[in-house]
A and B are shown apart, each in its own frame.
Chain A
Amino acid sequence: MGFHIQMVLFLLSFSILSFSFSLYLIFLLRKKNEWWEGATTAGLVGTISLASGIFLRLLFARRIIFSSTFEASLLLSLTIIIIHFVLERHYELRVGGVILLPIALFFLGLALILPEKTISHIPPTLNSHWFFLHSICGVIGYGFFSIGLGLLLLYLLKTRTPLSSIGLWLTGGVALTYFLLDSGSILRGSYHLNRMILHQIGDEKRFTSARNVFNLFLREGYSREELSDLLPLKIHIPFVGKVFLISLCLISISFVLYLIYFFQKEQKLEKKALFFARIALPFQVIGLALLIYQIPQIPEVYFASNPFEFSSIVSSVFLSIFFVFLSFSYHSISENLPEENLLSEVSLNMIESGFLLYTLSLVFAGIWRNEAFGNYWLNTPSEWWPVIGWFLFLLSLHLWKEERKRIGFAFLGLAVLLYTLFGLGIFSAQG
């Protein structure tokens, strides 16, 4: 019963926050305070709902340690929203919700489609004050970083970064995501547990990341035999593969045109690139809609069968929507954003705060590891990736006078930290 109440609260907060986001978007375009007031009120209701859900979960679990990716994602989402409201009040950053709420919604959405949501007992090694401090500081630090990066994005829009540059990065990112997703066979119209498992069973390739995916499912309670039985299972989802393949082609053409434009600076090329990016959008939306419509009708699979792939598709489609939306109203959006110096400085403050918390999180992790296992460091990816992220943010902070480089390193840093939080267990060669 308690579990269902929590889930209802989380779903409710997702819906209300999505509504709040749309109101923020209208406020950005119309600049009328009524829209902002509505957005803030809805946002507050969504936040209370989310906070209550988290509180209930901790109450039922009888612990305050956030031990799973599900719980970490929820806390991260809540952190981002709370900081957003603080910024809104303190700096009068009223349009912050346009970028910060989608980031919070991304983490909340990812949490909601993760397969493992039940309250589980924590292993004895995690039952430590140091681990608690490590996880809390880490997740809140991630929140600050995400907000800093979100504001930097607004800064890029405010400083009228050429649409072609934004297009180059976004189409490149979306095309790369679809290309990588081919390994998950979505583009071939199939949605199964993971192609990588097939590799592992088939020829026992030692260094594929399959081992980790395989272990992940073993940990979920599947037996080796059950997994072997499962392997021939390929769920064909009609039309989805073809639609996404068309999307990939169109978005790749757009990317290539933007790339050529980057060197040749011919207006025609930019127009064509934008045209292809725009016509790719309906195909992507249709593909996603088909996926969302058809998956519940196939009993063998559900969204959570492959949460990371699914959330990557959703993110890519939303990035494309964002870009096309931007291409129609870039000027008015840019006009209505706060002053660029304000965005730049608040983002720097956010990244610095995140860096402090993240540093503390690493220190606590070392102390915890030393008490639990007798060493504060092992040369495994689990240790190195968080430190790589730390180094990238360190570079970003050392380059505070060079705006573009600072932004570049901060983006890289956040990408690495997200990989550390969500992808490390699955894709690492030695994880």
Chain B
Amino acid sequence: MKKGKSSFLGVFASRKLTIFIVLFIVISAILGTIIPQEDFVSLESIKREYPSFLYAIFIRIELFRIYHSLWFKGLFFLLLINIIASTIVNLPKVLREIKPPERIPDPENFQNYPFSRLLSLPNGPPIEKMEEKITTDFKELGFKIKRREEKRVLLFGVRGRLGRFGFLISHLGFILLLSGVFISSRYALRGRISLVEGETTSKMVSSDGKDISLPFSVGLDWAKASYYQNGMIKEWEARAFITINGEKTKEKTVRTNHPLSFRGFNLIIDEFTEKAETKIKGYTLDISGLEGENRRTYHITKFGEELEYPEEGLKVVPLRFIPDFVMSGTTPFSRSQELRNPALEIEIIPKTGEITKLWVLAKHPELNRLPGLPVTFSLRVDKKELARVGFELVKDPGVKIVALGGGVISFGLFLILLFPPASVVALIFKKGKQTLLFIGGGFHRNYFFFEKRMAQLMESLRVRL
């Protein structure tokens, strides 16, 4: 395959194309931050702000949804192709550069090196001695030296091989990152779950309001918030659990920045309402004599169970509860679900005589007695304020690939920075009575420093040899 600049691959691998695409992306992204986007502002309100002809043009070229437009995604696709092509084109070049030349080059070719010097030594020392000195000097500069001999002696050294691969690794990282973003945009599943303490659900609500069934249930045991002294929120905590077929599979105290992870899903706490709902745990019924003597306390958790009051030989059966008691004629009913006027209906079975019913009111104890009955009742509702927690439930298979891509890009950059690639060659040969020494060097970065050190090296060689 032809791999010159004119080839098909060469066109896609060109740096000019990279610059063009990246500039286009930059300009488009800036426009997206200036022009209102329908992700944040409704199209109706945008329409009011723009003249109709401009609005129509902008709609057509998707300027109100730049980041979701096909052309914007196309730019990234083109960038991806560009990076892949440039990696393919440059890889052989990199491999070639870190290997010693297959044939010993002619001295004329050394002019191609960014740094090249010729030292002519009439009556110079033997080649072996020169070779030894140059090898020592090159090694001091951090080069690993290889030797080849075919009439002439060639010394070749490379350092910073890893750095030469840095750009390839960074490109690979970028390819990974863009692939991760693509996977995220296609396959990420996200929704919201809102749970009150004690609740469980197997559905989440997507951003467009649709219910999505989950292959498991999410439950919330408890939740609490802690505060700084000035009242600012310090942390939210929620004990969440996962159940499959009613069996608890995993549980964790979810905190901000510490989600619960389960089968690729992340459960993230992002909303908290401290006293969202009130839950009735049970009722406490006190029975005592008319003067408050012989008081007995009963905790009711079930209706229909008989409670005994032995002092008067009574039995009491709790029947039902109404949170906001009102009478309509002779029919009691609840005005609301709030605990405004809690009332408990009980059945009183005396030792002898008729069975009667009574509504015991929590807020009006003076009414909780019956004529002829030597006892009085009082009611307390055992309640608990429940917190509501909003969770974000996300399954995004692209996240790890994006993070890996970012890490690989950084690693590549790290290699470029830490191992600046450089190569040196020395060619020693006899020409008549003269010993000639060519020294050349190629440096991808830090040319200034290498040039200085190489010049120093040449000077020291000249003096010593």
Contacts and interface: CB of A to CB of B under 8 A. Distances in A.
Interface of A: 121, 123-125, 127-128, 130, 206-207, 339, 341-342, 344-345, 348-349, 352-353, 355-356, 359-360, 362-363, 366-368, 370-377, 379-381, 384-385, 387-388, 391-392, 394-395, 398-399, 428-430
Contacts of B445: 345, 348-349
B23 interface: yes
Contacts of A377: 181, 184
A127 B190 contact: no
Interface string B1-19: 0000000000000010011
Contacts of B258: 371
Contacts of B22: 391, 394-395
A398 B256 CA distance: 40
A381 B35 CA distance: 11
Interface stretch (B142-150, B368-376, B410-418): B410-418
A143 to B, nearest CB: 16
A207 B446 contact: no
B446 A349 contact: yes
Given A363-B410, A385-B33, A124 B26 contact: no
A125 B266 contact: no
B409 interface: yes
B410 to A, nearest CB: 5
Contact of B448 (A206, A339, A381): A339
Given A345-B448, A360-B410, A372 B417 contact: no
A345 B450 CA distance: 11
Residue picked from B233, B234, B406, most chain A C-beta under 10 Å = B406
Contacts of B53: none
> Interface of chain A, helix or strand or loop or mixed?
helix
A341 B49 CA distance: 52
Nearest to A401: B15
B407 interface: yes
Given A394-B22, A429-B34, A430-B41, 13 more contacts: A121-B230, A121-B232, A206-B41, A342-B448, A352-B413, A352-B416, A359-B410, A370-B399, A370-B403, A373-B392, A375-B396, A376-B399, A379-B32
B406 A359 contact: yes
A123 to B, nearest CB: 7
B157 to A, nearest CB: 21
B397 interface: no
Contacts of A123: 232-233
Contacts of A398: 15, 18-19
Contacts of B49: 206-207
Residue picked from A128, A130, A356, A373, most chain B C-beta under 10 Å = A356
Interface of B: 15, 18-19, 22-23, 25-26, 29-30, 32-37, 39-41, 45, 49, 67-68, 181, 184, 190, 228, 230, 232-236, 255-259, 266, 268, 270, 392-394, 396, 399, 402-403, 406-407, 409-410, 413-414, 416-417, 445-449
B171 to A, nearest CB: 11
Residue picked from A124, A128, A348, A370, most chain B C-beta under 10 Å = A124
Nearest to B272: A124
B447 A374 contact: no
A380 B34 CA distance: 11
A339 B39 CA distance: 51
A15 to B, nearest CB: 33
Contacts of B228: 121
Contacts of A362: 406
Residue picked from B181, B257, B409, most chain A C-beta under 10 Å = B257
Contacts of B257: 124-125, 127-128, 130, 368, 371-372
A377 B178 CA distance: 13
Contact of B36 (A370, A373, A391, A429): A429
B259 A380 contact: no
Contact of A374 (B236, B255, B392): B392
A384 to B, nearest CB: 5
Contacts of B15: 398
A391 B26 contact: yes
25 contacts: A124-B233, A124-B234, A124-B255, A124-B256, A127-B257, A344-B448, A345-B449, A352-B416, A353-B417, A359-B409, A363-B409, A366-B402, A366-B403, A370-B399, A371-B259, A374-B259, A374-B268, A375-B394, A377-B184, A379-B32, A381-B33, A388-B26, A429-B36, A430-B33, A430-B36
A384 B33 CA distance: 8
A342 to B, nearest CB: 6
B36 A207 contact: yes
B406 A363 contact: yes
A44 B186 CA distance: 54
B357 to A, nearest CB: 53
Contacts of A348: 445
Given A387-B29, A399-B19, A372 B268 contact: yes
A356 B448 contact: no
B36 to A, nearest CB: 6
Contacts of B41: 206, 430
A371 B32 CA distance: 26
B410 A430 contact: no
A383 to B, nearest CB: 10
A345 B451 CA distance: 12
A376 B402 contact: yes
Contacts of B406: 359, 362-363, 366
Contacts of B230: 121
Given A371-B258, A379-B39, A430-B41, A395 B23 contact: yes
Contacts of A399: 19
A363 B36 contact: no
Contacts of B19: 395, 398-399
A90 to B, nearest CB: 11
Given A373-B268, A384-B29, A341 B416 contact: no
The 3 A-B residue pairs with the shortest CB-CB distance in the complex, in nearest-first order? A363-B406, A374-B392, A341-B448
A406 to B, nearest CB: 11
Contacts of B407: 363
B39 A356 contact: no
B282 to A, nearest CB: 34
Given A207-B36, A380-B40, A387-B29, A373 B235 contact: no
A207 B48 CA distance: 11
Contacts of B236: 124
Nearest to B48: A206
Residue picked from A339, A385, A429, most chain B C-beta under 10 Å = A429
Contacts of A359: 406, 409-410, 413
A135 to B, nearest CB: 14
A353 B413 CA distance: 9
Given A348-B445, A398-B19, A430-B36, A373 B416 contact: no
A206 B414 contact: no
Contacts of A373: 268, 270, 392
A385 B35 CA distance: 14
